[in-house]
Amino acid sequence: MGKVTQITHPLILHKLALIRDKNTGSKDFRELVEEVAMLMAYEVTRDVQMEEVEIETPICVTKCKMLAGKKMAIVPILRAGLGMVDGMLRLIPAAKVGHIGLYRDEETLQPVEYFCKLPQDIEEREVIVTDPMLATGGSAADAITLLKKRGAKNIRLMCLISAPEGIKLVADTHPDIDIYVGSIDEKLNEKGYIVPGLGDAGDRLFGTK
Ligand code: PRP
Ligand code: URA
């Protein structure tokens, strides 16, 4: 069974409170999503492989740890996952970025796929799927299925705000995946929105409503 980690650092909780506020406009919302993603990336990458290297300081030669050769890929679920990419790239600038386009049908709440472009060597990379919201879990579960079909083997999921229903669906469908969230909220409402949540992440990021 993959592990579920709730990252409860004070800086993340503070910024999530600001993100949830309905009076936070798109500019601040975007900046905050980027900042929280950067802070979470620190924890999500805690166990990536390291190797010992020899470094010559101005004083002497010494052994240091650096990231091992294994390469990383960040894969946002469009649209809202895009808001997390720049923050993560600030910490992991060598990562490649793939894109998976999914939208949730408003009636059925089922994800509909419309785009997929991944790094060619995705099977060799440690993949971090990003999406601010894990609601029913349908979008994240489908994105992970798609990644596995394309050969990805080492996948983790990173979301800012989640509902228990979404965590359960992803954990049941993909028991090999580690899930990282900033918050596990109370529930979904009758329209499939997370309660208390933050509303529609894509619309708030891009100002489309
Ligand atoms: C939102 C969100 C997730 C999905 C979560 O995207 O960014 O991708 O809903 O819901 P689920 O867990 O029930 O699948 P949306 O479909 O609204 O598309 P958008 O990002 O383009 O606005
Ligand atoms: N998608 C969102 O953007 N917000 C929710 O609360 C649920 C799905």
The protein residue whose alpha carbon is closest to atom 2 in ligand 2 is 200
Q: Which residues contact 160 (CB under 8 A, 6 or more apart)?
A: 16, 19, 33, 36, 37, 40, 84, 132, 133, 181, 182, 183, 201
Distance 122 CA to ligand 2 centre (A): 28
Q: Which residues contact 99 (CB under 8 A, 6 or more apart)?
A: 75, 76, 78, 82, 115, 116, 117, 118
Distance 104 CA to ligand 2 centre (A): 9
pLDDT in tens, 22-61: 999 999 999 999 999 999 999 999 988 889 999 999 999 9
Contact 84, 38 (CB under 8 A): no
Give the confidence band of 106 by pLDDT, cuts at 50, 70, 90. confident
The protein residue whose alpha carbon is closest to atom 9 in ligand 1 is 104
Instruction: Tell me which of 65-74, 101-110, 185-194 is least confident.
Output: 65-74
Per-residue pLDDT for 114 more than 90? Answer: yes
pLDDT in tens, 133-191: 999 999 999 999 999 999 999 999 999 999 999 999 999 999 999 999 999 999 999 99
Task: Say how far apart CA 4 and CA 169 lie, in whole Å.
Answer: 12
Q: What confidence score (pLDDT) does residue 67 get?
A: 86
Give the confidence band of 130 by pLDDT, cuts at 50, 70, 90. very high
The protein residue whose alpha carbon is closest to atom 13 in ligand 1 is 136
With b for 16 or more beta-carbon neighbours within 10 A and e for fewer, the 41-63 pattern comes to beebbeeeeeeeeeeeeeeeeee
Helix (H, G, I), strand (E, B) or coil at 94: coil
Q: What confidence score (pLDDT) does residue 69 get?
A: 65
Answer whether 135 contacts ligand 2 (Cβ < 6 A): yes
Per-residue pLDDT for 127 more than 80? Answer: yes
Q: What confidence score (pLDDT) does residue 44 get?
A: 95
Per-residue pLDDT for 1 more than 80? Answer: no
pTM for the full predicted model: 0.95
Q: What rounded mean pLDDT belongs to the chain?
A: 96
Per DSSP, 8 falls in state -
Q: What's the average model confidence in pLDDT over 104-123?
A: 94
Q: What confidence score (pLDDT) does residue 209 get?
A: 81
Q: What confidence score (pLDDT) does residue 159 get?
A: 98
Q: Tally Cβ neighbours within 10 Å of residue 9.
A: 14
Output 149 or 1, whichever has higher pLDDT. Answer: 149
**Ligand 2 nearest-atom number relative to CA 198:** 6
Per-residue pLDDT for 80 more than 80? Answer: yes
